[in-house]
Each structure stands twice: as C-alpha cells, then as structure tokens.
Structure 1
Amino acid sequence: MGGSAGQEALERLGVLVGEWAVEADLPGADGPPARCVFAWDLDGRFLVQRTEIPVEGAPDSMAIIAVDPESGAYTYHYFDTRGVVRTYAMSFDGEEWRLLRETPDFSALSFRQRFFGRVEGDVIRGAWELAKGESEPWERDFGLVYRRTR
C-alpha cells in the first residue's frame, strides 16, 4: 500500500470485520435478521461486505470498500441480486460511517442516497436517507441496527 494515509484508512476498517445480524425498521421486516459479513480480500487491500436478507423480494448484496493509497479516501462499490450497481463516496473514522451518492454512476440517478451510521462497540446504529430531486430535502428511508455475532 502506498502512503501512510491509505494504510491508516485500511486499519480503521478493522472494527467492521466479522459477522453481524442486521435488523431493519421497514414495513414487513418482521422476520429473522439479515446476516452481514465484513472480510478482507486480495491481501487485505479491500474490505468486502456480503449481506444475505431472508425476506422474499429483498436483494442480497455485496459491497467492496476500496481505499485510495495516497489520500486514504474511501469508495464503496455496491452490487446486488437485482443487478443494481452503485458507487458511493464513503467516510469512516472508526466510529462514524457515512455513505453518499449524489451523482450518476453505473445506474441512473433518480434519487440521491446517503447513510449515516455510528459504531458503538458491537452495535452499529444507522439510517438510510433519500432525496428525490437535486433540490429536494433529505428524508429518512429506513433504519438499520447491526449487532456483532462473531
């Protein structure tokens, strides 16, 4: 890995590594929690997040978190079983996790999205928000609670 900023950014992600049960506050999300695993890949240069959701119609997903070796900036590459591909700017300081998508990428941008989460030991509490237009206000979409299982 190039610069020390990139190495430090990778090291901060270590708090996410492991298995998590994920609960969503969505209508109809009364079933078992989703399962999420964060694991290093390609010699520890990328953190991969895989999520399996045991709710019919909800997509399983995979995300790859990349770090710019010089600046330490994060990019969150998202893929799911619907064929959706999205790229988010990401920030993470070891406690606060943010994702932001405000420009078109591999899919049309019919709405802006952002996620704010806070790591509190073995729990991450967060929420997704969306804005339907460039000048529209942000609205809560749904909340998520990750609980470490391993």
Structure 2
Amino acid sequence: MGATAQREALERLGVLVGEWDVEAEFPGQDVTAGRSVFEWELGGQFLVQRSEAPDPAPASTAIVSVEPGTGAYTQHYFDSRGVARLYAMTFDGAVWRLLREEEDFSPLSFRQRFTGRLSADGDTIHGVWERSQDGSADWETDFGLTYRRRS
C-alpha cells in the first residue's frame, strides 16, 4: 500500500501544477494581486509553490511532501519575513486544506487553517484563511484567497 498511496497522492496534486494569478482579500482593504507557480521538483517527488505579492504580503515558498507509507501530505512553508511553518495538508482533488495547530519552527501564537475549493474546470480555487486565538474553538476569517489559472 505504501508506494501506491504515495503515487496516488502525488498524482492528485497534478491539477495544481502551473501558473496562477492570486487575489488576497483582507477585511477593510483593497484586493492585493500576486502570482503563484506550482511545479514538480526532484523527479516529481515534491510539489513546490512559489508566490510573489506586493507589500505588505510576503513572498513565499512552500514544499509539499507526501508520506511514503500513508500518502499523507505536509506543507513546509517559508517566507520573506523569515517565517518557517509546517502545515498538515489534505487534498482530494477538489478541496485543499491546510492546518497548523502545533508549534513548529515558530511559536504558535494562533492556530491557522486554509480551505480552498477547486472549480469544476480546475481553473479557479476559492479559499479562505482562518485563525483562532488562545486555543479557542472559534475561528475567524483572516483573509480570502482566490487563485485563477494563468497557464
């Protein structure tokens, strides 16, 4: 099962590969436009996402790895502020989720989660980042994020 689960998990990510225009919607602010590129690295074993956006949004690089035995995803996130984080990730081909509930390379001053939904044609992802303070069960919207395929 191990190699099969890993291969299937990697294949599901293929729909993300390409160039995307990205719009971030922060409450009470103008929409911020940026760009994101997803591409395979190291023989297709890792999916790398590189994102650029104007200030105050940071530039970032994220590397998605797949656990060989289970097919579980982890996203390793790094940005131009020097932030490094690990997110548990799921992706079923239609819904993309990221979750950070534990301290990792940086302190956990708040929990984070992202949920993005891929359109039927695979060319748009509508998502939202949420945060939860002080271990609260309540989540509040941090910002919306929309990806539109460029190529």
TM-score interval (norm. to shorter): over 0.9
Distance 2:123 2:150 in 1: 8
Structure 2 unaligned spans of 5+? none
Change (3 A) 1:79 1:29: farther
Q: Give the match for residue 8 of structure 2.
A: 8
Output the amino acid matched with 1:144: L
Q: How does 1:51-62 map to 2 (within 5 A)?
A: 51-53=51-53, 55-62=54-61
Distance 1:10 1:30 in 2: 32
Identity %: 61
Distance 2:110 2:137 in 1: 9
Output the amino acid matched with 2:57: A
Between stretches 20-29 and 82-91, larger displacement belongs to 20-29
Q: How does 1:94-109 map to 2 (within 5 A)?
A: 94-109=93-108
Q: Give the match for residue 35 of structure 1.
A: 35
Distance 1:95 1:10 in 2: 14
* 1:125 is the counterpart of 2:121: no
Structure 1 unaligned spans of 5+? none
* 1:21 is the counterpart of 2:24: no
Aligned length: 147
* 1:116 is the counterpart of 2:115: yes
Q: How does 1:69-84 map to 2 (within 5 A)?
A: 69-84=68-83
SS at match of 1:135: coil
SS at match of 2:9: helix
1:58 is displaced (CA, Å) by 1.8
1:133 is displaced (CA, Å) by 1.4
- TM-score by structure 2 length? 0.94
Deviations 1:77-108 (A, max 9, x none): 00000000000000000100000000000000
1:136 is displaced (CA, Å) by 4.3
| Aligned CA-pair RMSD | 1.1
Distance 1:62 1:51 in 2: 6
Distance 2:59 2:136 in 1: 31
Distance 2:86 2:65 in 1: 11
1:24 is displaced (CA, Å) by 1.0
Output the amino acid matched with 2:149: R
Output the amino acid matched with 1:148: R
